[in-house]
Structure 1
Amino acid sequence: MTERREITLEVGEKEFTFELTPQDVTKYFNTLTQTNKVSPANNLLMTTVKQDERASLKSLLGNPLMVMNLAGTLLEEYGPDVEITVKKPSNTLSA
């Protein structure tokens, strides 16, 4: 999958445009650890936002909750719309 997507998020009165690829998302997930979540999210945001918007975005990323909210929204929008249902096993026994 080589889908490159441009996603624009509006934060207050500012807009930020991100360009994500599967490689960006994979790198993000591969760097997450139990004790390190904010830094990978910050890196994802800063490396995928348009270059001329980086300074404005960086000024918003001092709050870790803002970082996680933005990254979560970005990833949710990037993900495909797929309906997934868990099938429960049958309770009937085979004879």
Structure 2
Amino acid sequence: MSTDVREVTLEIGDKEFTFTLTPVDVTKYFNAMTQTNKVAPANNLLVTTVEQEQRASLKPHLGNVVMVMQLANLLMEEYAPDVEAVVKKPSDTLNA
């Protein structure tokens, strides 16, 4: 597994919050998500990766489940590498 550690700063309202994401954090987040359990893993990702001294200031923003999911999605978008990929569509002609 890569040792890719990424620091992401999100501005929420008038405050900045810095999150440090590692491959282990992201893997735990994805592995904890299930069909019926998405908010708790997102909340855990936010709380465990934010700088410790910012945790208390972040918690009031985590009362709304939609906000939790949006913030986690922002972190994942910033963590993800830039990938240039094109999906090749199958040819309309049949192989004879």
Q: For this structure pair, what is the TM-score category when the shorter chain's length is used for normalisation?
A: over 0.9
**Counterpart of 1:11?**
12
CA RMSD of aligned residues (A): 0.9
Measure the CA separation in 1 of the matches of 2:48 and 2:60.
15
Aligned to 2:87: 86
SS at match of 1:61: helix
One-letter amino acid of the counterpart of residue 34, structure 1: Q
Deviations, residues 35-87 of structure 1 (Å, cap 9, x unaligned): 11100000000000000000000111011011001000111011011122110
CA–CA distance in 2 between the matches of 1:91 and 1:70?
A: 42
TM-score scaled to structure 2, two decimals? 0.94
Consecutive unaligned residues in structure 1, runs of 5 or more: none
Q: Which consecutive unaligned segments of at least 5 residues does structure 2 have?
A: none
Q: Deviations over 1:10-52 (max 9, x none)?
A: 0010000000011110100000011111000000000000000
Using the alignment, how far apart are the partners of 1:83 and 1:66 within structure 2? Answer: 29
1:1-95 map, 5 Å: 1-95=2-96
Q: CA deviation at 1:92?
A: 2.2
Count of residue correspondences: 95
**Taking every aligned residue pair, what percent have the same amino acid on both sides?**
71
Within 2, Cα distance between the matches of 1:91 and 1:63? 47
Counterpart AA for 1:14: K
Alpha-carbon separation, structure 2, partners of 1:35 and 1:94: 43
- Structure 1 length as normaliser, TM-score? 0.95
Partner Cα distance (2:45, 2:95) in 1: 50
